[in-house]
A and B are shown apart, each in its own frame.
Chain A
Amino acid sequence: MVNKNQKGITVIEALVCMVIIGIGFVAMMQLSAYSIGAMDRSIEKNKMNFLSEMVLEDMIGDPYNASSYANVSMGCTYSSSQATSLPTRKIDKWKKVFSEDDFIKFNSGSGFKNKKPECASGDLKKTSVVSSSGRTQAKINMSTGQGKRKKFLGVILK
């Protein structure tokens, strides 16, 4: 007869414990995977903060031509264009810098790849300039991650 007062761990208990600890490990793995992604997104967000300031700064530097900076959309790829005036040069620079085309390339064995920011086709990076009765306002509107992450900066130019 099995003596129920015997101290010890039965096989069932041990198995259940192992399963629980296994779940714990899996949860930690999920956490670390999520953190890695979150950190990368945080770095991109940091860079985007400075880039959206760049857009406003350029508009502040040319307030009387603000309409040339309206409705500019920064996409995911960049192709250089002939720029001959201040607004077109600035806009060309914005597009280039937002696509991070030139910054860092790395080669982990299979050729140099661009370290590009995450960019989906639905992402929005757009300026808007509104003028009424002599007053001009400028805004930059960004939404990434399928609209889950939004950013917005606005200023009155003059």
Chain B
Amino acid sequence: MKKNIKAFTLAEVLVAIVIGVISVAAAFSAYNYYTKSYESVSQKANVNSAARDALILITKDLRNAGFIGTTFLTASCENITNMRDAKIELASVSSKRSGPYGQADNLMLWYTTSPQDRKQVSYTLQRKQNSSEYYLARDVKINPEGQRRGGCQGYNSAFNHPVNNELLVSHVEDFQVIFKDKDGKILAPACSMSCGPEETKLGNNNIVATSYGNMTRGQANQENIHSADIYLTVRSPKEVYNSNRSFRIVNGEAGYGSNISVSADKYYRETFFASVHTRNLSIPQVPTTNTAGSIGEGQGYNK
């Protein structure tokens, strides 16, 4: 029998198989780790950019909130002819608790965009049908009173067209807005109407006489808002961590805000904070020495 048939011995084949399997296993586990970290980076990028875009919009709206153009009252589609009607709605935070843990705020604000038009922007947490996921929605209405009272129904088409509950950020865990007055103290309630429990607590102390007539405390407070703090906690769309972890989210201060416990899961969560000086709401700080300074009445954006 010819012994020079070239072939592999059993040992060689076994060793080759073992080496092959080990190296493929190593390659796959490296690939697996790599894929996990790719997922995690891409989820975090998602959270980061959604929160960034949302906060840019919210801060811009809060800076404009309460701007009433000098020519607005005399020519508005909302049948608003006196300051009192205009000042009933400036910027308000509803104490109706919403969101996945029932502790989030709803923010609503108003500003005029032309002599005829007044814009209402509201930020609420909404839930999609058949889902337990909450998203932060931004809703814009032009001339909401006019539509109710039958003032001019159209709006200046040079400005934004109304959107209904545009989805800003998905998977929002918490949204808090805290108003502060010119002394830096928390200002609550500050809302246009039916503030909820905070105002009901005031009982008879709820009506305040202002230079524009009698208003509820919440309505009167809207003009004293000096700054607004915004907390936004966002969750990643998909799971990111390898093992379960539980979270505690505390957004806000001393009784105003949220205290949320999240049971163990693998999602990534991050809280973003922004704060704005509400230029069009606060009563301007007047210099005490006469430096011939001018007093700002209000500022507005155009875009």
Interface residues of A (CB under 8 A from B): 18, 25, 28-29, 32-33, 35-36, 39-40, 42-43, 46-47, 50-51, 53-54, 57-58, 60-64, 83, 85-86, 89-90, 93, 97, 100, 102-109, 112, 134, 158
When distances are taken between beta carbons in the complex, the residues of chain A under 8 Å from B243 are 108-109
- A92 CB to closest chain B CB (Å) equals 9
How far does the Cβ of A71 sit from chain B's closest Cβ, in whole Å?
A: 19
Instruction: Tell whether B212 is near chain A: CB-to-CB under 8 Å.
Output: no
Interface presence of B185 (CB below 8 A): yes
Q: Is the CB of B291 within 8 A of A112?
A: no
Q: Which of B238-257 contact A (CB under 8 A)?
A: 241, 243-251
Contact partner of B227 (CB less than 8 A), chosen from A51, A61, A63, is A61
| B5 proximal to A (CB < 8 A) | no
Q: Are B48 and A46 in contact (CB under 8 A)?
A: yes
B16 CB → nearest A CB, Å: 10
Are A36 and B182 also in contact (CB < 8 A) when A60-B277, A104-B270 are? no
Our pick among A47, A89, A93, A107 for the contact of B246 (Cβ within 8 Å) is A107
Cα A92 to Cα B30 in complex, Å, equals 47
- Asked whether, in the complex, the Cβ of B48 is within 8 Å of the Cβ of A89, the reply is no
Alpha-carbon gap, A33 to B277, bound state (A):
40
Number of A-B residue pairs having CB atoms within 8 Å of each other in the complex: 121
Q: Given A42-B48, A50-B55, does the pair A106, B246 have CB atoms closer than 8 Å? A: yes
Contact with A along B31-61 (1 / 0, CB 8 A): 0011001101100110110011001000100
Interface residues of B, Cβ cutoff 8 Å to A: 23, 27, 30, 33-34, 37-38, 40-41, 44-45, 47-48, 51-52, 55, 59, 182-185, 226-227, 229, 231, 233, 241, 243-251, 269-277, 279, 282, 285, 287, 291, 293
B273 surroundings in chain A (CB, below 8 A) = 47, 50-51, 54, 97, 103
Decide: A89 and B287 in contact? CB cutoff 8 A. no
Least CB distance from B129 to A in Å reads 29
Which residues of A lie under 8 Å from residue B291 when comparing CB positions? 134
Asked if residues A32 and B282 are in contact (CB atoms below 8 Å), the reply is no
Q: In the bound complex, how far is the Cα of B288 from the Cα of A64, in angstroms?
A: 9
> Would you call A43 and B251 a contact (CB within 8 A)?
no
Contact B41 A39 (CB under 8 A): yes
Cβ–Cβ contact A53 & B274, under 8 A: yes
Report Cα–Cα, A28/B276, bound state, in Å: 42
Whole-angstrom CA separation of A117 from B52 in the bound complex? 17
Give bound CA distance, A147 to B182, whole Å: 36
Complex CA distance for A106 and B282, rounded to whole angstroms: 38
Say yes or no: B41 contacts A58, CB within 8 Å.
Answer: no
Complex Cα–Cα for A93 and B275 (A): 11
Q: Establish whether residues A64 and B227, one from each chain, have CB atoms under 8 Å apart when the complex forms.
A: no
Nearest CB of chain A from residue B25's CB, rounded to whole Å? 13
Q: Please, which residue of chain B has its CB at the minimum distance from the CB of A40?
A: B44
Partner of A104, one of B38, B52, B248: B248
Do B245 and A107 have beta carbons less than 8 Å apart? Answer: yes
Would A64 and B285 count as touching, CB distance under 8 A? Answer: yes
